[in-house]
Structure 1
Amino acid sequence: MSNPTPLLRVSDVSKRFGGVQAVGGVSLDLAPEEIIGIIGPNGAGKTSFFNLVSGMHIPDSGTVEFDGQDITRMNSTDRARAGIGRTFQIVRPFSGMTVAENVMVPLLVNNAHVSTAHKKSLELLEDLDIHHLADTPTEALTLAQRKRVEVARALATDPKLLLLDEVLAGLNSREVVSVLPFVKRVRDRGVAILMIEHIVSAVMEVSDRMMVLDHGKVIAHGVPESVIKDPKVVEAYLGAE
């Protein structure tokens, strides 16, 4: 993280849905090859914030800059082409296809030759320790395996920034422990990461910094060890005494 210029700069973004303020004036800088974990209670605005970064929603106010370009009004497809990849809470692999074929789809969209796409898909699956499942139909996968396929598909777009939306949700403790190393490996490939999770200990283990949202606003931001001791964070999770 020697480059001081942020890869992602989100400045005072807000989004309202009817009478609900989903995101209220959130700002964030993310450096290349940095991991920032985003935590907060249910309904805190975490996924809504992700949607503003990925282009699924356009902010009512504020700006989003990525790799030196203002992308505030850019749609999600163009943001993906610019280098923003993401996963989703609910994993939906393409049915009737193998694991390798699922990962090949985004590669072929980027005009790779079929043989090249197949080779690259196998390399991504090996990185995520699921290369042995390459020829397995996605319907036969466990939840943990489907989530790794989701990450592989996102990486197939060759992102500079990866948004991980609860890749640990629904996993048991052993599966959670097995996932954390490949999150770090993704970062070591030169990819910056924003990750939403509810398992605070896991977020602390992999994150350089953490941001806590509550009711659409940032209530704490900094190194993990300080953030989790912040009285506002304790109150948000446990309630006032």
Structure 2
Amino acid sequence: MSLLDVENVSKRFGGVQAVDDVSLHLEDGEILGIIGPNGAGKTSLFNLITGTIRTDTGKIVLDGTDITTTSPTKRARAGIGRTFQVVRPFSRMTVAENVMVPVLVHTPKVKEARAKAVALLDELGIGPLADMDVSQLTLVQRKRVEVARALATEPRVLLLDEVLAGLNSREVLDVLPFITEVRERGVSIIMIEHLVKALTSVSDRIIVLDRGALLAQGRSEDVLKDPAVITAYLGEDEHAEG
């Protein structure tokens, strides 16, 4: 059994089938990439895994335990963390205070929580930002703090939702090693991204969603040659990338 197993999950919103009988697995220590056009169901799938929305059908199993009906809070405590496509740090707070908030879930003493938050920032190479107000940060710095906040929940599985969005080419190259460093901390990753070349450079496998359904999965070099994938997504994307 894999670290995370998503088995035949589906979700409908009114007349829209957001997720349609999708199955995937994530191995311990793996980075799994997810691509697909807008509206393919990628973020909805993340919401199902974290429990923000409930499945209509299917099952979600974390390290052998069925978490399909458990709350988002219990899933976070069990080891599922995530970032969001739009970075929204707590305003009028420092970077360290932002990271302290999730640390307090496990460490109720404020002084100890701050020490853990600062230590985590140091480990991630962003310790000098600790006492800065988040309003002073660049976008790439806010992205790193968003990942730090997610890691502060001590996840075994981290869901990254377009962590490279809005970054220029140089900034993307700065962030990619950061993602592999997170994996080296013992965290398995599922990563949604539109920048296909960047995603495949760090992913062990990728899956492709289209209209809520699983279109293809496997090694990137095989999936990216699939005519159905090219038609649904990659042809348009690569043309857009120039």
TM class by smaller structure = over 0.9
Which one is further off, 110-119 or 125-134?
110-119
Are residues 1:149 and 2:145 paired? yes
Q: Which amino acid aligns with 2:151?
A: L
1:203 counterpart residue number: 199
RMSD: 1.0
1:142 CA drift (Å): 1.2
The partner residue of 1:219 within 215, 220, 224 is 215
Deviations 1:193-221 (A, max 9, x none): 00000000111011000000000011110
Are residues 1:121 and 2:117 paired? yes
2:172 counterpart residue number: 176
Q: Which amino acid aligns with 2:164?
A: L
2:33 counterpart residue number: 37
1:12 counterpart residue number: 8
Unaligned segments of structure 1, at least 5 residues: none
Counterparts of 1:123 and 1:206, CA distance in 2: 26
1:8 CA drift (Å): 0.4
Counterparts of 1:165 and 1:14, CA distance in 2: 19
Counterparts of 2:113 and 2:31, CA distance in 1: 28
Counterparts of 1:14 and 1:142, CA distance in 2: 37
Report the TM-score when normalising by structure 1.
0.95
Counterparts of 1:149 and 1:20, CA distance in 2: 34
Counterparts of 2:221 and 2:109, CA distance in 1: 47
Counterparts of 1:123 and 1:224, CA distance in 2: 35
The partner residue of 1:96 within 88, 92, 96 is 92
1:113 CA drift (Å): 2.6
Counterparts of 1:127 and 1:22, CA distance in 2: 38
Moved over 6 A (4+): none
Deviations 1:60-87 (A, max 9, x none): 0010001111011111111001110000
1:112 CA drift (Å): 4.2
The partner residue of 2:55 within 39, 42, 59 is 59
Counterparts of 2:36 and 2:122, CA distance in 1: 33
Unaligned segments of structure 2, at least 5 residues: 237-242
Q: Which amino acid aligns with 1:142?
A: T
1:109 CA drift (Å): 2.3
Q: Partner of 1:109: helix, strand, or coil?
A: coil
1:129 CA drift (Å): 2.4
Counterparts of 1:97 and 1:189, CA distance in 2: 27
Counterparts of 1:42 and 1:124, CA distance in 2: 34
1:26 counterpart residue number: 22
2:239 counterpart residue number: none
Are residues 1:74 and 2:70 paired? yes
Counterparts of 2:29 and 2:37, CA distance in 1: 27
Q: Partner of 2:61: helix, strand, or coil?
A: strand
Identity %: 63
Q: Which amino acid aligns with 1:163?
A: L
1:135 counterpart residue number: 131
Are residues 1:191 and 2:187 paired? yes
Q: Which amino acid aligns with 1:199?
A: L
